[in-house]
Amino acid sequence: MIQLKHVWKKYQIDEDVVFTALKDISLTIEKGEFTSLIGPSGSGKSTLMHIIGLLDKASEGEVLIQGQNIADLSDDEISTLRNEFVGFVFQQFNLINKLTIKENILLPTTYARKNLAYDPSSRADEIMERFGILEKAHSYPNKISGGQQQRVAIARSLIMSPSLILADEPTGNLDTKTGNEIMKLLAQLNNKDNITVLIVTHEQGIAEKTKRKIQIIDGALL
Amino acid sequence: MEFIQSAFLDFSRNKGRTFLTSLGILIGVMAVVLLTAFGLGLRAYIEQQFEDLGSNLIRVVPGKPLEGVNFSNPGSFITIKFDEKDVQNLSRIRDVKIIVPVYSKTIHMVAGNHKESSTVYASTGGIFKVLNVKAEYGRLFTDQDVDKRSKVIVIGQTLAEDLFSSAKNAVGKSVKYEGQKYTVIGVTEKKGGGGFGGPDFDSFTYMPYKTAYTFNTEKTFMVIIIQTKTEEAIKPVIRQADKVLLKRYDTDEFSIIQQEELLTAINSIFGIINSVLVAIAAISLIVGGIGIINIMYVTVTERIKEIGIRRALGARKSDILIQFLVASVILSLIGGLAGLAVSYIIVFFIQAYFPAYIDLNSVLLAVGVSSGIGIIFGVFPAKKAAELSPIDAIRYE
């Protein structure tokens, strides 16, 4: 489903200083996998996730999503792919504070270019009910707990029925108990809803909960 | 829809800022709309004044008043005066209904202890027809009064009140001017006017022109007003009058002006003055627009992270662009509509003193211009927002 071929990411820091964040990464993630990308901070794991999630571009190499080279796609096509194919879950939750929980969850549907096969509002209600946040539908993100905010973020990532969920340190801002609940939820999405899940983490304990571990150190896969 | 909602949400969270930013547009739109309203009012006022004057009128005047004063136009310096011979010659033209010579002078008249100055129109009985003047009390003088050199005058209501404390009492009383006594035989209906540089007909004095020869010793006239029988006759009469007058005068020594022409000339002068004023007022709109561009840049910076989140969720560049454009257009429209509302209130109160009014064009202009400013001044910040790299934006703290 996702294929990276000899991907490099380099940043021009100064006129003659180049920082190499990713070195010759080649990897394949198949549909239905539950994978973790583990590495210490500064290892390039977030950069890699951003490239897989189409938020960033590789300096060299090829990124193929369902066999399609994303270098051939326009910015609008990539935006549509982000909208329909990927769901993001961030460490900082990244909810929009002036919108209600439900409005946050529905936000991706406002950018949908295709006709949705379902009614967005009732689908949002279903997901909120499943995640136990339905009664918070009209609250604002800063009025609910961190665990609840992360559930909202996961709900938002699910609203467009994506094939892939990318979670960047999803438990990083949560206590262990809440973190475990979030991990359970992500595992459920993988085995019940058959969504490919990729979790970026620096915690071995989190990585242990996934079926496949990809280790990255200093921008290279082990 | 989501964008409009989001824009309003944002404004309600930053009420002070929204108010101050739209204030710039408010003032600009108000200045433009009010000046346009005054211009329109002034034009309507002038047209009204002319309408009061009756139709199918031609004025024969000395010089070339409509061509302005300049050194290549000697006509503007030469002032001839017409006399009874001209009046006789002109009266022989076909299709002339009434011919009215007018001599005018400002005189100081005395009645008892009251002393007033007034503009005297010394003319025939026809003056009342061409100027559309009617008697409220007493009667108007006739051509017989002219021939008999009767020492009679007809005065305006304001003047009558000033001299005799009541307009009704004025009839039958007399005034003195340069040792002569003139009997007031009539007081004219109130016409209004004056105050804006126009003539105040209510302070006028009308007198048979032959009676006025006692002080118009040269027996001349400043203006000869001709009323034609029909509208179609106006052009032929002008041509004939030109021929007649050219026998005695040079071509640049006199002008024959059609009433409508005069109106057009006055309107075009006021039109130019008004356009210049409106153009100056429009500068304040640009200043208002700079306020918008400023605040939109601030808004974009404040919302970089939100832009990143929206991009990560699938928003295209164009979605972000539209979101910020909609916000700036709404911000500007709020100012524009508020400016329009304030203008309406001001015009409403000022109408008692000045015939200003706001027409549909001003409304469309206000709405159009403020949306235009929103787009023009919103597009740069909006483009900046749209061009942000999603990953840099989402990492922005």
ipTM of the complex model: 0.94
pLDDT at B226: 92
> Which of B2, B316, B319 is best to mutate for the A interface (most A CBs within 10 A)?
B316
Q: Is the dihedral of CA B324, A77, B396, B386 positive or negative?
A: negative
pLDDT at A137: 94
CA-CA distances (angstroms) from residue B229 to B98, B238, B245?
8, 13, 20
* Interface contact B318-A108, CB threshold 8 A: no
Q: Which residues of B touch A154 (CB under 8 A)?
A: none
Arithmetic mean of pLDDT, B285-314: 91
Query: Residue A161 pLDDT > 60, yes or no?
Result: yes
Q: How many CA atoms lie within 13 A of B10 on its CB side?
A: 23
The residue type at A192: K
pLDDT at A167: 94
Query: Residue A1 pLDDT > 70, yes or no?
Result: yes
Chain-centroid distance of CA B176 in Å reads 37
What is the token pair recorded at A217? 């150190």
Q: How many CB atoms lie within 10 A of CB B79?
A: 11
* Interface contact A110-B10, CB threshold 8 A: no
CA distance A175 to chain B (A): 23
Q: What three-state secondary structure class fits B139? A: coil
Q: How many CA atoms lie within 13 A of B17 on its CB side?
A: 14
Predicted confidence (pLDDT) per residue in B350-393, tens digit:
888 888 888 888 889 888 888 899 999 999 999 999 999 898 89
Quick one: DSSP state of residue A193?
A: S
Predicted confidence (pLDDT) per residue in A103-157, tens digit:
999 999 999 988 888 999 999 999 999 999 999 999 999 999 999 999 999 999 9
pTM over 0.90: no
What is the token pair recorded at A48? 């890699």
Query: Residue B12 pLDDT > 60, yes or no?
Result: yes
Q: How many CB atoms lie within 10 A of CB A110?
A: 18
Predicted confidence (pLDDT) per residue in B323-354, tens digit:
999 999 999 999 999 999 999 999 999 888 88
* Interface contact B312-A55, CB threshold 8 A: yes
Q: How many CA atoms lie within 13 A of A145 on its CB side?
A: 9
Which has more confidence, B192 or B287? Answer: B287
Predicted confidence (pLDDT) per residue in B185-229, tens digit:
999 988 765 444 456 778 899 999 999 999 998 899 999 999 988
Q: Which residues of A touch B2 (CB under 8 A)?
A: 110
Nearest to B2 among A56, A95, A110 (CB): A110
- The percent of residues in chain A predicted with pLDDT above 90, rounded, is 87
CA distance B302 to chain A (A): 13
Question: Chain A neighbours among B 6-45 (CB < 8 Å)?
Answer: 6, 9-10, 13
Interface of A with B (CB under 8 A): 50, 53, 55-56, 75-76, 79-80, 82-84, 88, 90, 94-96, 98, 107-108, 110-112, 156, 160
Distance from C-alpha of A184 to C-alpha of A167, rounded to nearest angstrom:
13
The band of B269, judged by pLDDT with boundaries at 50, 70 and 90, is confident
Asked if B236 is an interface residue toward chain A (Cβ–Cβ < 8 A), one would say no
Asked if B317 is an interface residue toward chain A (Cβ–Cβ < 8 A), one would say yes
Long-range contacts of A143-151, Cβ-Cβ distance < 8 Å, separation of 24 or more: A144/A101, A145/A178, A146/A93, A146/A173, A146/A174, A146/A178, A147/A174, A147/A178, A147/A181, A147/A182, A149/A93, A149/A95, A150/A89, A150/A93, A150/A174, A150/A178, A150/A182, A151/A182, A151/A185
Long-range contacts of A81-85, Cβ-Cβ distance < 8 Å, separation of 24 or more: A81/A54, A82/A53, A82/A54, A82/A55, A82/B311, A82/B312, A82/B313, A82/B314, A83/A108, A83/A111, A83/A112, A83/A113, A83/A160, A83/B313, A83/B314, A83/B315, A84/A112, A84/A114, A84/A160, A84/A162, A84/B314, A85/A162, A85/A163, A85/A164
> Which of A49, A78, A79 is best to mutate for the B interface (most B CBs within 10 A)?
A79
- The percent of residues in chain B predicted with pLDDT above 90, rounded, is 41
The band of B77, judged by pLDDT with boundaries at 50, 70 and 90, is low
List Cβ neighbours of B359 (8 Å cut-off, separation of 6 or more).
Answer: B36, B40
Arithmetic mean of pLDDT, B171-182: 90
The residue type at B243: K
